[in-house]
Amino acid sequence: MIEVPFHQDSQVVRGFIRFSRTIAVLMIAVASIVLVAWWWDARLPTAVVPGQRSMKVNAAIGFALSGSALLLSQGSGRVRSRLGPWLSLAVMGIGLATLAEYVWSLDIGIDRLLDDSFARQPDPLSGRMAELVATAFVLLGGLGVMVSTRRWLYLREGLAVVLLAIAMTGLASYGFALAGRDSGPFNRVPIYTTLLLLLATLGWIASTPTIGLTRVTTADTLGGAFARRLLLPALLMPVIVAFVFEMLQSRLGLSEALAFSFVALFSGGAVAWLVWWVATLLDKLERQRRKSLLLRNDADTDTLTGLANRRAFDDALANLLRGQREHDMRFSLLMLDLDRFKSYNDDFGHLAGDEVLRITGHLLGAALRPSDLAARYGGEEFALLLPDTDVTRAGEVAARILDAFRGFAWPQRAVTISIGVAQSAPSDGSTDLIQRADAMLYDAKHAGRDRVMVATAVVSPGAVRSGT
Ligand SMILES: Nc1nc2c(ncn2[C@@H]2O[C@H](COP(=O)(O)OP(=O)(O)OP(=O)(O)O)[C@@H](O)[C@H]2O)c(=O)[nH]1
């Protein structure tokens, strides 16, 4: 079971792990085919991709070892975690030994790695890969050791980038090789070795999708969406551009200047296409964001009064209580209830009652600061949250609301409201505070309605009460 950290897209993370395993199996499979083919008949490996050089014996062994190490790095258990790094060290060893043969003209038997059957090969260097590939194997082995042991993150990312650069340059110069031209140090590197090197590097990078370079690529954020869409085309562009350039010259016989102009046009167009693609994606995501914002607003709003609904009130109260606990930020709660609303409904009808509720929404909204929250708590009961407000100030706000109700020209007959006020206390949970404000509201009703009752002390039972 893969543990997917917060903000990572679990499906993409699993996809990366699957990709990594597939690459490991592919490396082992290709390496095995090449080894069997070398053993069977020296001409076979060259026949796999006609016109191509063959993958060398030690390169095939290196890929088989690195692929096995990659598979082991994904599993758990002591043996697996111990064996993996050793296999990668062996990959490094093969690369280093080959380089040593080149540099010091040594013969440490790297050309005859398996047994004498390889001596039958017409290619005198059947076992020895090119210098560049040997260098790449040293890096690939190092990458494997660091990934398997979960060490030196930055160094291993650096190795991966160098490896990618080698493999991508190899692919880019394939166009030259195709045209039979000298492609520099890649002239002696078979295309499928380069391709496998690229995939092996990607496989190792993808094996730890939630850290390092790949973290952004697997994130469930906007950055993640961009990276997933744009990284591959951006990486492939130089390869394609080099390829197109070569094809234009060699196949269509265009002059270098003309081929260059076409390639410049082509790359400009490709960049423009990438920009357009990003813009389309941004546009789509922004539309979705606005839509979900609207839906969220709808979900938080009471349709009749336009005030916040009970759900939004509960969220806001929980936030304020957290602020109180963590930063000692006091706030006050007002519970309000229309007086004798049942008889208003009975006398003038439900629709007239609805109109009163709508007007109440306007009056409460007008009485508050932008940071305050007015909510319909249920039926004809309302709640106001006043952040950073002590009980004295909250009492003043409540008195202002009473005045606003008294002074309003109501359509049928005067409507009044009763209010209970309480201030938050450090030990409060949401029900404690609501109960204190409710108790004050109850007192206001019993004292004759159209008034405010304030809990002047914040300890609940036996609190000192005062009427306004
Ligand atoms: N028109 C209308 N009436 C509502 C709505 N929600 C609740 N009510 C009514 O509000 C009334 C509340 O009545 P009571 O709880 O008895 O309280 P009251 O008549 O206001 O009396 P006091 O609160 O003691 O002053 C009920 O008649 C409900 O039907 C609504 O959305 N629209």
CA distances from 388 to 29, 352, 372, 423 (A): 68, 36, 9, 10
In three-state form (DSSP H/G/I as H, E/B as E, the rest C), the secondary structure along 6-18 is CCECHHHHHHHHH
- One-character DSSP codes across 87-119: HHHHHHHHHHHHHHHHHH----SGGG-S-GGGG
Q: What is the pLDDT along the chain (468 residues), one digit of tens a residue?
A: 555 666 778 888 999 999 999 999 999 999 998 888 877 766 555 555 555 667 888 889 999 999 999 999 887 777 777 899 999 999 999 999 888 888 887 777 665 554 444 444 445 555 677 888 899 999 999 999 999 888 888 999 999 999 999 888 887 777 666 656 666 666 667 778 888 999 999 999 999 988 888 888 888 888 888 888 888 888 888 878 887 888 888 878 888 888 889 888 988 998 898 889 888 888 888 888 888 777 777 889 999 999 999 999 999 999 999 888 877 888 999 999 999 999 999 999 999 999 999 999 999 999 888 889 999 999 999 999 999 899 999 999 999 999 999 999 999 899 999 999 999 988 888 899 999 999 999 999 999 999 999 997 544 333 334 444
- 331, 385 contact by CB (below 8 A): yes
Distance of CA 438 from the midpoint of ligand 1 (Å): 16
Ligand 1, from 341, 377, 410: best to mutate by most atoms within 8 Å of Cβ? Answer: 341
Which letter does DSSP use for residue 210 in this model?
T
Nearest protein CA to atom 5 of ligand 1, as residue: 379
- The response to whether residue 385 sits with its C-beta less than 6 Å from ligand 1 reads no
- The response to whether residue 340 sits with its C-beta less than 6 Å from ligand 1 reads yes
Distance of CA 304 from the midpoint of ligand 1 (Å): 14
The answer for residues whose C-beta is within 8 angstroms of residue 466's C-beta and 6 or more apart is 453, 454, 456
Nearest protein CA to atom 7 of ligand 1, as residue: 379
Which letter does DSSP use for residue 308 in this model?
B
- The response to whether residue 443 sits with its C-beta less than 6 Å from ligand 1 reads no
Nearest protein CA to atom 18 of ligand 1, as residue: 340
Closest Cα to residue 417, out of 309, 310, 335, 332? 335
Distance of CA 375 from the midpoint of ligand 1 (Å): 16
At residue 221, φ and ψ (nearest 5 deg) are -110, 180
Q: Which residues of 439-452 are buried (b: 16+ CB within 10 A; e: fewer)?
A: bbbebbbeeeebbb
> Tokens for 383?
């709640």
Active-site residue, 380 included: yes
Distance of CA 240 from the midpoint of ligand 1 (Å): 73
pLDDT of 422 reads: 96
- The response to whether residue 395 sits with its C-beta less than 6 Å from ligand 1 reads no
3-state DSSP call for residue 451? coil
Burial of 220 (0-12, 13-18, 19+ CB in 10 A): middle
Q: Which atom of ligand 1 lies closest to the CA of 352?
A: 1
Q: Which of 131, 380, 381, 396 is catalytic?
A: 380
- One-character DSSP codes across 41-96: -THHHHHHSTT-PPPPHHHHHHHHHHHHHHHHHHS-SHHHHHHHHHHHHHHHHHHH
- The response to whether residue 361 sits with its C-beta less than 6 Å from ligand 1 reads no
- The response to whether residue 9 sits with its C-beta less than 6 Å from ligand 1 reads no
Distance of CA 345 from the midpoint of ligand 1 (Å): 7
CA 156 to chain centre: 22
- The response to whether residue 338 sits with its C-beta less than 6 Å from ligand 1 reads yes
Distance of CA 21 from the midpoint of ligand 1 (Å): 65
What is this model's ipTM? 0.95
Sheet arrangement for strand 417-423: 373-378, 381-387, 331-338, 417-423, 452-455, 465-467
Nearest protein CA to atom 15 of ligand 1, as residue: 342
The answer for residues whose C-beta is within 8 angstroms of residue 9's C-beta and 6 or more apart is 218, 219, 220, 224
- The response to whether residue 379 sits with its C-beta less than 6 Å from ligand 1 reads yes
> Tokens for 442?
């109850």
Question: What is the C-alpha separation between 55 and 245, in angstroms, rounded?
Answer: 27
Nearest protein CA to atom 29 of ligand 1, as residue: 342
- The response to whether residue 302 sits with its C-beta less than 6 Å from ligand 1 reads no
- 453, 468 contact by CB (below 8 A): yes
Question: What is the C-alpha separation between 50 and 291, in angstroms, rounded?
Answer: 55
Look at the alpha carbons of 199, 203, 209, 214 in this order and tell me if their dihedral is positive or negative: negative
pLDDT of 18 reads: 94
Distance of CA 404 from the midpoint of ligand 1 (Å): 20
> Tokens for 288?
């979705």
